[in-house]
Amino acid sequence: MSSEHLLKIAIHAVPGAKRTEAAGTHADALRVRIAAPPTDGKANQALTAWLAETFAVPKRDVTLLAGASARQKRFALHFPDAAALAAAQSRLAQLRGEA
Protein backbone atom coordinates (compact mmCIF):
# COMPACT_ATOMS: atom_id res chain seq x y z
CA MET A 1 0.00 0.00 0.00
CA SER A 2 1.26 3.44 -0.86
CA SER A 3 1.86 5.78 2.05
CA GLU A 4 1.11 8.67 -0.32
CA HIS A 5 -2.62 8.11 0.07
CA LEU A 6 -2.72 7.50 3.81
CA LEU A 7 -4.89 9.31 6.35
CA LYS A 8 -4.08 8.89 10.04
CA ILE A 9 -6.95 9.57 12.42
CA ALA A 10 -6.84 9.96 16.19
CA ILE A 11 -10.02 8.57 17.78
CA HIS A 12 -11.40 8.99 21.29
CA ALA A 13 -13.65 5.92 21.61
CA VAL A 14 -16.76 5.85 23.79
CA PRO A 15 -18.03 2.24 23.79
CA GLY A 16 -21.46 1.06 24.86
CA ALA A 17 -23.48 3.78 23.09
CA LYS A 18 -26.91 3.27 21.53
CA ARG A 19 -25.48 3.65 18.02
CA THR A 20 -22.11 4.18 16.40
CA GLU A 21 -21.62 7.80 15.38
CA ALA A 22 -19.20 10.70 15.41
CA ALA A 23 -19.71 13.02 18.37
CA GLY A 24 -17.44 16.00 17.76
CA THR A 25 -13.95 16.12 19.17
CA HIS A 26 -12.10 15.30 22.37
CA ALA A 27 -8.87 17.30 22.55
CA ASP A 28 -7.42 16.77 19.04
CA ALA A 29 -9.14 13.42 18.43
CA LEU A 30 -12.41 12.63 16.69
CA ARG A 31 -14.84 11.44 19.38
CA VAL A 32 -16.79 8.37 18.26
CA ARG A 33 -19.59 6.71 20.21
CA ILE A 34 -19.54 2.96 19.56
CA ALA A 35 -22.55 0.66 19.81
CA ALA A 36 -20.50 -2.28 21.03
CA PRO A 37 -19.07 -3.30 24.39
CA PRO A 38 -15.33 -2.85 25.04
CA THR A 39 -14.82 -6.60 25.45
CA ASP A 40 -13.15 -9.17 23.21
CA GLY A 41 -12.23 -6.52 20.64
CA LYS A 42 -15.88 -5.92 19.72
CA ALA A 43 -15.61 -2.14 20.02
CA ASN A 44 -12.48 -2.12 17.83
CA GLN A 45 -14.25 -4.26 15.21
CA ALA A 46 -17.29 -1.96 15.25
CA LEU A 47 -15.07 1.11 15.01
CA THR A 48 -13.12 -0.39 12.09
CA ALA A 49 -16.39 -1.17 10.27
CA TRP A 50 -17.71 2.35 10.94
CA LEU A 51 -14.51 3.98 9.65
CA ALA A 52 -14.57 1.80 6.52
CA GLU A 53 -18.20 2.71 5.82
CA THR A 54 -17.81 6.40 6.68
CA PHE A 55 -14.73 6.89 4.51
CA ALA A 56 -15.81 4.47 1.73
CA VAL A 57 -12.89 2.06 1.92
CA PRO A 58 -12.80 -1.72 2.40
CA LYS A 59 -12.24 -2.87 6.00
CA ARG A 60 -8.89 -4.31 4.92
CA ASP A 61 -7.71 -0.73 4.25
CA VAL A 62 -8.38 0.36 7.86
CA THR A 63 -5.50 -0.38 10.24
CA LEU A 64 -5.46 0.10 14.02
CA LEU A 65 -2.02 1.58 14.71
CA ALA A 66 -2.24 2.11 18.48
CA GLY A 67 -4.64 1.89 21.40
CA ALA A 68 -6.19 -1.56 21.00
CA SER A 69 -7.29 -1.59 24.66
CA ALA A 70 -7.48 2.17 25.28
CA ARG A 71 -10.01 4.90 24.57
CA GLN A 72 -7.37 6.86 22.65
CA LYS A 73 -6.75 5.09 19.35
CA ARG A 74 -4.88 5.82 16.12
CA PHE A 75 -6.05 4.44 12.82
CA ALA A 76 -4.57 4.58 9.34
CA LEU A 77 -6.85 4.54 6.31
CA HIS A 78 -5.42 3.68 2.90
CA PHE A 79 -6.92 5.26 -0.22
CA PRO A 80 -6.45 4.29 -3.87
CA ASP A 81 -5.66 7.80 -5.11
CA ALA A 82 -5.24 11.46 -4.21
CA ALA A 83 -8.87 12.32 -5.03
CA ALA A 84 -10.19 9.72 -2.58
CA LEU A 85 -7.77 10.98 0.08
CA ALA A 86 -8.90 14.58 -0.45
CA ALA A 87 -12.55 13.53 -0.15
CA ALA A 88 -11.75 11.67 3.09
CA GLN A 89 -9.94 14.70 4.52
CA SER A 90 -13.00 16.82 3.73
CA ARG A 91 -15.28 14.22 5.37
CA LEU A 92 -13.05 14.17 8.47
CA ALA A 93 -13.24 17.97 8.74
CA GLN A 94 -17.06 17.69 8.52
CA LEU A 95 -17.17 15.07 11.28
CA ARG A 96 -14.94 17.23 13.47
CA GLY A 97 -17.28 20.19 12.94
CA GLU A 98 -14.69 22.21 11.06
CA ALA A 99 -16.56 22.49 7.76
What's residue 1's pLDDT? Answer: 47
Instruction: Please count the CA atoms within 13 angstroms of the CA of 19 that sit on its side-chain side.
Output: 2
The pLDDT score that the predictor gives to residue 52 is: 97
* pLDDT, mean of each 10-residue run, the chain (99 residues): 80 93 92 92 94 96 94 96 94 88
Give the pLDDT of residue 99.
Answer: 66
Indicate the domain borders of the chain: 3-95
Task: Give the Cα-Cα-Cα angle 92, 38, 62 (nearest 5 degrees).
Answer: 40
Which residues fall within 8 angstroms of residue 83, CB to CB, at 6 or more apart?
none
Cut 0.85: pTM above it: yes
- State the pLDDT at residue 38: 87
Domain spanning 3-95: which superfamily?
YggU-like (3.30.1200.10)
